[in-house]
């Protein structure tokens, strides 16, 4: 909270009184707002026991919420693994010594960073259902009609997030001290060996908090599967809500699940970051800007472009 | 391709996307600045409220927020944002989508402004206080103007994300680009790849100028220190 100390002196007795008054007024306003909202919700009958008891029945969980959560986690986990692999490969290619390889990887990354994830999901989904050649192909490799939405969700997530992870890793490599690369070259490694054996592993460690924050983005974006009828947590919640006529309450519960899940991942990123800084495991930790904040963007990106250490293509 | 674009009114769909992005961005900017001021204020409760807002909104999927605006706020609580008329459903869904997009991105605008505040040297606010400015005065005259200039790049990134995120509005029946694309490909799967490329290039054309403008602006308006 460096910003806090910048803006005002340590308050004296008068300022403390004023802050207390402001605090009371602020809390009163907030409480008033909350009460108005709750009264409104109450008037609509959302607090009736019947709206909440479905969540005490095991069937709601075993038939709706847990299978939905499982599908969400499944899509997110597969997408995370695949986009890490593809992202690392793209980063290697984009730092290659062969110019055309660099350009091709650059075009790929810049293109898929600019296209909304949902557009890619819908495209993959409709094509897998409508295009006769693709339908034959997916059936021949054992993807059933029911799995098509899963494939579409993962494809959309992977293409976008691999591009973002490629840029994160490149930023990580650029933020390493120049001596790391020089040392590798001086013991006779080729430039590509230096990247593979020395720079990339360090970039991974240095960028671990940012990479974990990207996991939050992937988990959140898997909810886009709702739109293409993938039976993830949000879709299952909608069905549960209409089955019990408690849509409003069901969304509150599912929001709480999502928030807790992502908050836990964010905390993990912060913990790893503080441990990194303490043990100075990463080369970046030493000379780098004091805080490589775990930045993760609004759903589809935003701050992922401004990771620590601005890359050459940061606009 | 041209007749497909006309038949499914792709131009109109892109126009709706632009309108969604523009209106949501203005609302998000105002709301985000307000939350940032709460987070910077010396009063504990306001601070806590700002931090809670950011934590909750940042960790909720945008799809959930937008669907909740429609099925929760409107269908269940009866909150209507448009006048009853012939275009009620479309207009109401547009405004609910704007509401969802704005409250979600306000959390990221708030963080962008806070990162802008962190670029200001301590001496600036010390100087402001030493000439007797109060907290609101120093915020208005010294801190926020510099913070906005330092935050242009992250705010531009939020705008780019916002433009792409408008596609989620299709979840509550807005006939924007994702809606048009789905119908076009279902109608002509043989031209699917071409349709995808046209729409993807449309998004590149929308987001690229924002990126260029923010980098130009941020170097032009940067506070020379």
> DSSP letter string over A115-145?
S-HHHHHHHHHHHHHH-HHHHHHHHHTT--G
- CA distance, residue A193 to nearest chain B CA (Å): 34
Residues 6+ apart with CB under 8 A from B12: B175
Res A6: pLDDT: 59
Res B193: pLDDT: 93
Instruction: Calculate the CA A299 to chain-centre distance.
Output: 7
Mean pLDDT (whole number) for B57-77: 91
Q: B183: nearest CA in chain A? A: A126
Higher pLDDT, A124 or A279: A124
A153-210 pLDDT, tens digit per residue, is: 999 999 999 999 999 999 999 999 989 999 999 999 999 899 999 999 999 988 998 9
- Residue B176 tokens read as 């924007």
Res A19: pLDDT: 87
Contact with chain A for residue B10, Cβ under 8 A: no
Mean pLDDT (whole number) for A128-141: 91
Per-residue confidence band for B84, with pLDDT thresholds at 50, 70 and 90: confident
Mean confidence (pLDDT) of chain B: 91
| pLDDT at residue A135 is higher than 80 | yes
Chain A contacts in chain B segment 30-69 (CB below 8 A): 40-46, 49, 55-56, 58-64, 67-68
Res A301: pLDDT: 38
CB burial class (10 A; 0-12, 13-18, 19+) of residue A34? Answer: exposed
Res A298: pLDDT: 42
Q: A22: nearest CA in chain B? A: B43
- Using the beta-carbon criterion (under 8 Å), do B190 and A127 form an inter-chain contact? no
Per-residue confidence band for A280, with pLDDT thresholds at 50, 70 and 90: low
pTM over 0.95: no
B105-123 pLDDT, tens digit per residue, is: 999 999 999 989 888 888 8
- Tally Cβ neighbours within 10 Å of residue B33: 17
A237-279 pLDDT, tens digit per residue, is: 999 988 888 888 899 999 999 999 999 999 998 898 888 877 7
> How far, in Å, CA of A138 to CA of A128, rounded?
8
Read out DSSP for A230-277?
---HHHHHHHHHHHHT-HHHHHHHHHHHHHHHHHHHHHHHHHHHHHHH
CB–CB of B185/A130 below 8 Å? yes
Read out DSSP for B153-185?
HHHHHHHHHHHHHGGGGGGGT--SHHHHHHHHH
> How far, in Å, CA of B194 to CA of A123, rounded?
11
Chain A contacts in chain B segment 148-207 (CB below 8 A): 153-154, 156-158, 160-162, 164-165, 167-168, 170-171, 177-178, 181-182, 185-186, 189-190, 192, 196, 199-200, 203-204, 207
Q: How many residues does this entry show for chain B?
A: 225
ipTM for the whole complex: 0.92
> How far, in Å, CA of B12 to CA of A313, rounded?
32
B138-161 pLDDT, tens digit per residue, is: 888 998 999 999 899 999 999 999
Higher pLDDT, A9 or B11: B11
- Residue B152 tokens read as 């242009």
Mean pLDDT (whole number) for B41-56: 91
Mean pLDDT (whole number) for A279-291: 50
A32-89 pLDDT, tens digit per residue, is: 999 998 888 888 888 888 888 888 888 888 888 999 999 999 999 999 999 999 999 9
């Amino acid at each position: 909270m460096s910003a806090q100390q910048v803006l005002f002196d340590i308050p004296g007795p008068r300022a403390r009184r004023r802050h207390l008054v402001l605090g009371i007024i602020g809390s009163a306003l907030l409480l008033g707002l909350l009460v108005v909202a709750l009264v409104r919700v109450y008037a609509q009958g959302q607090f009736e026991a019947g709206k909440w008891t479905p969540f005490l029945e095991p069937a709601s969980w075993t038939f709706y919420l847990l299978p939905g959560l499982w599908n969400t986690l499944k899509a997110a986990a597969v997408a995370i693994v695949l986009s890490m692999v593809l992202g690392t490969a793209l980063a290697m290619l984009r730092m290659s010594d062969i110019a055309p390889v660099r350009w091709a990887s650059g075009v790929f990354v810049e293109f898929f960073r600019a296209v909304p994830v949902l557009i890619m999901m819908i495209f993959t989904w409709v094509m897998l259902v409508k295009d006769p050649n693709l339908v034959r192909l997916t059936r021949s490799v054992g993807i059933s009609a029911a799995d098509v939405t899963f494939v579409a969700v993962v494809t959309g997530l992977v293409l976008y997030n691999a591009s973002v992870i490629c840029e994160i890793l490149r930023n990580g490599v650029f933020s390493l001290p120049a001596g790391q690369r020089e040392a590798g070259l001086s013991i006779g490694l080729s430039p590509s060996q230096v990247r593979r054996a020395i720079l990339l592993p360090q970039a991974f460690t240095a960028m671990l908090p940012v990479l974990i924050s990207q996991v939050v983005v992937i988990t959140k974006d898997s909810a886009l599967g709702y739109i293409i009828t993938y039976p993830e947590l949000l879709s299952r919640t909608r069905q549960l809500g209409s089955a019990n006529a408690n849509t409003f309450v069901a969304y509150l519960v599912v929001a709480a699940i999502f928030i807790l899940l992502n908050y836990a991942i964010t905390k993990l990123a912060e913990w790893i970051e503080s441990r990194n800084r303490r043990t100075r495991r990463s080369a970046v930790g030493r000379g780098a800007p004091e805080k490589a904040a775990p930045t993760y963007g609004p759903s589809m990106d935003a701050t992922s472009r401004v990771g620590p250490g601005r890359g050459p293509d940061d606009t | 391709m041209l007749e497909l674009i006309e038949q499914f009114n792709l131009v109109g769909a892109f126009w709706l996307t632009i309108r969604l992005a523009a209106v949501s961005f203005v609302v998000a900017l105002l709301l985000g600045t307000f939350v940032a001021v709460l987070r910077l204020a010396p009063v504990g409760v306001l601070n806590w409220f700002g931090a809670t807002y950011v934590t909750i909104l940042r960790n909720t999927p945008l799809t959930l927020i937008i669907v909740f605006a429609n099925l929760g706020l409107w269908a269940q609580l009866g909150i209507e944002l448009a006048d009853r008329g012939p275009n009620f459903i479309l207009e109401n869904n547009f405004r609910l989508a704007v509401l969802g997009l704005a409250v979600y991105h306000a959390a990221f605008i708030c963080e962008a402004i806070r990162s802008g505040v962190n670029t200001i040297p301590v001496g600036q606010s010390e100087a402001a206080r030493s000439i007797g400015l109060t907290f609101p005065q120093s915020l208005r005259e010294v801190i926020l103007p510099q913070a906005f200039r330092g935050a242009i790049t992250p705010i531009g990134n939020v705008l780019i994300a916002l433009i792409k995120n408008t596609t989620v509005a299709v979840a509550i029946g807005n006939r924007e680009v994702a809606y048009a694309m789905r119908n076009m490909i279902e109608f002509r799967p043989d031209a699917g790849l071409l349709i995808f490329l046209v729409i993807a290039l449309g998004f590149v054309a929308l987001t690229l100028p924002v990126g260029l403008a923010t980098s130009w602006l941020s170097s032009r308006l940067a506070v020379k220190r």
